[in-house]
């Protein structure tokens, strides 16, 4: 039964991809085929995941299907978690794309639908792969799908750079995994992943641990490998972003979880490094998300932030494994898994709803998206649910997961080792700062994009009928950000069963203080009931509203009109309301060192004054510079000696330090090395034979050393 569901899903994805390559998306009759096939395949895998929760792990042999060794597939409880989560999202995002592709031919060229199907098929194969070759084959296929999606509809040089950058980092992660897998296979004598548990050499295990963290962490945007994520997501068409962020990136999480059971306890220094790297990644991601001028950029950098939070929580589990504390390992894994669910649901919701907003406005510049919630009520409601979840506000699923992570970080007093205690304290401080900045960032989005007055771009927009499938998919995603929080105890029971291969389910279930009350595994520390929040919060708001209305004799609900408050003096003219750029300006000042913020005041001649506001530099680059302009006003014009006039304008820019101080110097060193290596291409046969001989000797020395 399980093999039939898996094969049916892969056949559906193959049919959808072939249909897109053959017929393309120019015709409405064929444009929806890849997404309908993806929805059917995702439904099969969702059924497979639900069935895997109720049954024992199953391994089935596909013979020499891929041509190298024995191809085996394993569907266990850990796979059940990710199959259920990711392909429930796959059904919803595919439904949204069915309606999206029916309205008009967004992408006339072939490739987008095929890349989407390839992504889903690759994710499914990674999750159920039982041997090294099929795992790496699917992993490289996933890298190819990300490249295809980020390069589909390429319109500028910056988008071409983004797609190649996405592929380059994917290959870096794949190379790290390849080397780690070869070390483990050589030490164990098996290509079956389950057999690597018996590797005895501590040195090989430690090296494999580092390579595995780098390989899977690159997919999650772990610093300093996060540069591809904001570029790749913003370069991809809107229809692909939800699948890339909500489905594709989470196979990195699956890999980290799976190899904790394979490699066992890591060294203490690795656990501390992972915690701190996750905290730094989260802070960098949210800092840059808060100052982005484009909606897709904000959501993409938020993916870096949430990847860092997940990795920091995973570091807690590694610390528990290193300290031989199953309770700490359980609370770390449970907290990280809860946040994986929250992030996958919320990020898919945001990108799917942003797809409709961007389509209606014809742009994703935040300055042009104000009032999107008024123009598109369903889209705005779903977007709000996803934003509140990522802001970590109750009663959303994001609030529950972040509460669990903070509670897990507070357990450092139970450990004996100073290094682990300091690591958890440092990670806790970084995650706390990140949480505050996340609230600021998403309040900015909600207030200035969803709840504000309509911009000229959306002034004539009406409620678009996105089709039954699209409305159902978007509604399901938005409601899941709220409803899953109400049934968190049920979610924890399922996660406990899925994580039973890593920590005993009996320990993980201690997170349930009672049927509807949660605790961080350890008793008598703190409790929370997300289910009761859904009763208490509406009741509290209703009581406050009624009391305020009665106390004011009904005046509380009457509209009040007062003069608009202005933060500037009477000598300054221009709009009185904040816009997204000015709202983010305090953040640019406070985190100037992190953001590499630069400021400049320039004098603009009168002849240039009519030039519209613009972004300097590449629109999709990591370095952004904005030019602030106000409407013409005599009070702001300065008469020039020659009879002309000028005005003062303010420019600000942010530069990502990882690109400036890591990527660019690395590229220069690589180019110099390639020029040096090019000299070896002399064209002489004896020289090439000598190179091969030296390489063979080095390989023999390495093999002899390993054995």
The CA distances from residue 143 to 94, 126, 243, 255, 552, in Å, are 20, 12, 13, 15, 61
Query: Do 309 and 371 belong together in one domain?
Result: yes
Please give the pLDDT value at position 623.
Answer: 40
Nearest to 55 by CA among 19, 104, 2, 126: 2
| CA R_g for the chain | 27
Q: Which residue has the higher pLDDT, 391 or 238?
A: 391
- CA nearest to 485, candidates 547, 422, 393: 393
Query: What DSSP assignment string belongs to 75-141?
Result: E-HHHHHHHHHHHHHHHHHHHHHHHHHHHS-S--SSSHHHHHHHHHHHHHHHHHB-BHHHHHHHHHH
Percent of the chain surpassing pLDDT 90: 42
Q: What is the pLDDT of residues 337-393, one digit of tens each?
A: 999 999 999 999 999 998 888 887 777 888 788 778 777 888 889 999 999 999 989
Under a CB-based contact definition with an 8 Å cutoff, are residues 90 and 44 in contact?
no
Q: Quick check: is 677 in a domain?
A: yes
Q: Looking at the predicted structure, is the pLDDT value of residue 207 above 80?
A: yes
Q: Are residues 438 and 550 in the same domain?
A: yes
Domain assignment of residue 89, yes or no: no
From CA 288, how far away is CA 186, in angstroms rounded? 42
- Helix/strand/coil for 305: helix
Query: Given this model, what pLDDT does residue 548 score?
Result: 87
CA distance 201 to 108: 54
Q: Is 619 a residue whose pLDDT tops 80?
A: no
Annotate 599-664 with DSSP letters as a single string: EEEEEEEGGGTTSPP-EES-TTSS-EEEEE-----GGG-EE-TTS-EEEEEEEEEE--HHIIIIIH
Considering only residues 399 and 291, tell me which one the structure prediction assigns the higher pLDDT: 399
Residues 646, 524 share a domain:
no
- Quote the CA–CA distance of 675 and 483 in Å, as a whole number: 58
List all residues 6 or more positions away from 597 whose beta carbon is below 8 Å from its beta carbon: 588, 589, 591, 652, 653, 654
Phi, psi of 276 (to 5 degrees): -70, -40
Asked whether the predicted pLDDT for residue 184 surpasses 70, the reply is yes
Contact status, residue 49 vs residue 80, Cβ threshold 8 Å? yes
DSSP state of 564: P
Q: Is 701 a member of any domain?
A: yes
> Does one domain contain both 403 and 525?
yes
Is 335 a member of any domain?
yes
Over the stretch 302-346, which tens digit does the pLDDT of each residue have?
A: 999 999 999 999 999 999 999 999 999 999 999 999 999 999 999
Lowest mean pLDDT among 49-63, 226-240, 443-457, 535-549: 443-457
What single string gives the DSSP state of each residue in 409-433? HGGGGG---HHHHHHHHHHHHHHHH
In the predicted model, what is the mean pLDDT of the chain?
A: 83
**Secondary-structure breakdown of the chain: helix, strand, coil percentages, each rounded to the nearest 5:** 70, 5, 25
The confidence score (pLDDT) of residue 658 equals: 77
Same-domain pairing of 691 and 607: no
Give the pLDDT confidence score for residue 459 in this predicted structure.
60
pLDDT, position 106 = 54
Are 651 and 665 part of one and the same domain? no
Instruction: Take residue 61 and report the two structure tokens written for it.
Output: 């042999």
d(CA 60, CA 558): 68
Beta bridge partners of 627: 651
Which whole-number Å values give the CA distances from 59 to 3, 50, 80, in the listed order? 9, 17, 13
Is the predicted pLDDT of residue 249 greater than 50, yes or no?
yes
Beta strands in 542-644 (DSSP E): 598-605, 615-616, 624-628, 638-639
Q: What is the mean pLDDT of residues 500-511?
A: 92
Question: For the segment 521-534, what is each residue's pLDDT rounded down to a tens digit?
Answer: 998 888 999 989 88
Is residue 444 domain-shared with residue 480, that is, in the same domain?
yes
Give me the sign of the Cα torsion angle 485, 388, 100, 14.
negative
Q: Across residues 542-561, what is the average pLDDT?
A: 82
> Which is more confidently placed, 560 or 7?
7
Residue at a domain's end among 557, 579, 605: 557
Neighbours of 102 (CB within 10 A): 17
In terms of domains, do 609 and 483 share one? Answer: no
Same domain flag for 387 and 401: yes
Give the pLDDT confidence score for residue 646 in this predicted structure: 59
Q: Which of 639, 655, 671 is the last residue of a domain?
A: 655
pLDDT 10s digits, 467-498: 788 889 999 999 999 999 999 999 999 999 99
Query: 35 in a domain, yes or no?
Result: no
Q: Which domain holds residue 668?
A: 660-706
Mean pLDDT within 421-429 = 93
- HSE, side-chain direction, 13 A CA sphere, residue 366: 29
Domain count, the chain: 3
pLDDT of residue 612: 45
Which pLDDT score, from 0 to 100, does residue 699 have?
Answer: 86
Residue 460 confidence (pLDDT) above 70: no
Q: What is the pTM of this model?
A: 0.87
In a domain, 107, yes or no: no
Q: What is the pLDDT of residues 554-576, one digit of tens each?
A: 777 777 776 655 554 444 444 55
Q: What are phi and psi of 33, to 5 degrees?
A: -60, -45
Residue-level pLDDT at 490:
93
Q: What span, in angstroms and rounded, lies between the C-alpha atoms of 515 and 490?
A: 9
Residues 449 and 335 placed together within one structural domain of the fold: yes
Distance CA 392, CA 3 (A): 39
Pair 287, 382 in one domain: yes
431 found inside a domain: yes
CB 405 within 8 A of CB 312: yes
Domain boundary among 532, 557, 582: 557
Q: Are residues 424 and 536 in the same domain?
A: yes
**pLDDT at position 273, please?**
95
Strand 598-605 to 615-616 pairing: unpaired
Is 463 inside any structural domain? yes
């Amino acid at each position: 039964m399980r093999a039939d569901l898996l094969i049916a899903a892969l056949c559906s994805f193959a049919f959808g991809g072939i249909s897109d390559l053959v017929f393309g998306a120019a015709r409405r009759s064929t444009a929806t085929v890849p997404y309908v096939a993806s929805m059917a395949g995702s439904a099969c895998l969702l059924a497979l995941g639900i069935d895997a929760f109720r049954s024992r792990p199953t391994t089935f042999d596909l013979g020499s299907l891929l041509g190298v060794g024995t191809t085996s597939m394993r569907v266990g409880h850990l796979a059940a978690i990710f199959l259920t989560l990711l392909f429930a999202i796959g059904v919803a995002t595919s439904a949204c794309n069915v309606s999206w592709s029916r309205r008009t031919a967004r992408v006339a060229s072939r490739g987008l639908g095929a890349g989407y199907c390839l992504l889903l098929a690759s994710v499914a194969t990674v999750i159920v792969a039982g041997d090294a070759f099929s795992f790496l084959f699917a992993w490289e296929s996933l890298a190819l799908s990300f490249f295809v999606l980020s390069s589909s509809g390429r319109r500028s040089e910056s988008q071409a750079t983004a797609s190649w950058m996405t592929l380059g980092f994917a290959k870096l992660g794949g190379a790290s995994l390849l080397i780690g897998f070869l070390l483990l296979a050589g030490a164990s004598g098996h290509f079956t992943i389950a057999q690597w548990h018996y590797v005895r050499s501590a040195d090989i295990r430690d090296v494999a641990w580092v390579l595995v963290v780098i390989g899977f962490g690159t997919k999650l945007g772990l610093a300093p490998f996060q540069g591809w994520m904001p570029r790749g997501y913003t370069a991809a068409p809107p229809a692909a972003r939800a699948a890339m962020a909500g489905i594709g990136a989470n196979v990195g999480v699956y890999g980290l979880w799976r190899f904790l059971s394979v490699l066992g306890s890591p060294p203490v220094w690795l656990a501390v490094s992972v915690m701190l790297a996750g905290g730094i990644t989260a802070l960098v991601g949210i800092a840059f998300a808060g100052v982005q001028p484009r909606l897709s950029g904000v959501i993409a950098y938020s993916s870096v932030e949430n990847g860092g939070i997940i990795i920091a929580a995973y570091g807690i589990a590694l610390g528990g494994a290193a300290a031989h504390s199953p309770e700490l390992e359980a609370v770390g894994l449970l907290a990280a898994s809860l946040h994986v669910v929250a992030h996958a649901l919320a990020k898919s919701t945001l990108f799917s709803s942003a797809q409709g907003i961007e389509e209606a406005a014809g742009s994703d510049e935040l300055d042009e998206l104000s009032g999107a919630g008024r123009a598109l009520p369903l889209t705005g409601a779903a977007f709000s649910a996803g934003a509140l979840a990522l802001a970590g506000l109750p009663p959303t699923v994001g609030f529950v997961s972040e509460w669990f992570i903070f509670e897990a970080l507070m357990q450092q007093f139970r450990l004996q080792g100073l290094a682990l205690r300091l690591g958890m304290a440092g990670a806790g401080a970084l995650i706390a700062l990140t949480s505050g900045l996340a609230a600021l960032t998403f309040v900015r989005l909600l207030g200035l994009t969803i709840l504000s007055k309509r911009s000229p771009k959306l002034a004539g927009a009406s409620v678009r009928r996105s089709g039954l499938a699209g409305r159902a998919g978007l509604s399901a995603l938005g409601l899941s950000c709220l409803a899953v929080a109400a049934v968190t105890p049920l979610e924890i029971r399922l996660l406990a069963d899925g994580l039973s291969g890593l920590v005993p389910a009996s320990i993980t279930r201690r997170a349930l203080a009672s049927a509807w009350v949660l605790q961080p595994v350890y008793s008598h520390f703190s409790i929370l009931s997300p289910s009761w929040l859904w009763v208490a919060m509406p009741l509290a708001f209703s009581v406050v509203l009624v009391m305020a209305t009665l106390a004011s004799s009904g005046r509380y609900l009457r509209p009040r009109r007062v003069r608009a408050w202005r933060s500037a003096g009477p000598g300054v003219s221009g709009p009185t309301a904040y816009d997204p750029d000015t709202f983010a300006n305090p953040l640019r000042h406070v985190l100037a060192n992190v953001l590499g913020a630069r400021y400049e005041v320039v004098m603009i001649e009168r002849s240039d004054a009519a030039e519209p506001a613009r972004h300097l530099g590449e629109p999709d680059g990591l370095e952004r510079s904005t030019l602030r302009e106000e409407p013409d006003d005599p009070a702001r014009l300065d008469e020039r000696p020659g009879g002309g006039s000028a005005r003062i304008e303010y420019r600000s820019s942010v530069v990502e330090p990882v690109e400036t101080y890591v990527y660019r110097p690395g590229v220069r060193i690589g180019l110099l090395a390639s020029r040096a290596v090019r000299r070896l291409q002399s064209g002489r046969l004896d020289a090439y034979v000598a190179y091969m001989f030296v390489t063979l000797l080095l390989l023999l020395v390495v093999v002899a050393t390993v054995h």
